[in-house]
Amino acid sequence: MKALILTFGLFLAAGTIVWFFYFVPLGCSMNTTGCKDQFTVWSRVGLFHFWMPFAVAACAVAYGLRRS
C-alpha cells in the first residue's frame, strides 16, 4: 500500500506540472479570438490548476513516506 500511495503522489505531481505548463496554455491558444493571458503559479488560475493538485500530491507522498 505504501508503494501505491507514493506512486500516486509522484504521478499526480508530474501530471500537475504537465497539465499547468502545457495543457492550460494550449487551451488558451486554441481560442479563436486570441488569448493574451499569462498563466503564473501565483494567479487565481495557478491556485486552482497548480497548487491544489500539487498540494494533494505532496500530502500523498508525505503520507506514503510516513506510513510503516
Domain locations in the chain? 2-66
Average pLDDT score over residue span 41-64: 89
d(CA 49, CA 44): 9
Q: Residue 62's pLDDT band (boundaries 50, 70, 90)?
A: very high
Task: Return the closest-CA partner of residue 42 out of 30, 51, 32.
Answer: 51
As a whole number, mean pLDDT of residues 5-10 equals 93
Report which of 66, 68, 65 is spatially closest to residue 7, judged by C-alpha positions.
65
Beta strand ranges found along 1-68 (DSSP E): none
- Nearest-angstrom CA–CA distance, 17 and 10: 11
pLDDT of residue 68: 62
- Is residue 66 predicted with pLDDT exceeding 70? yes
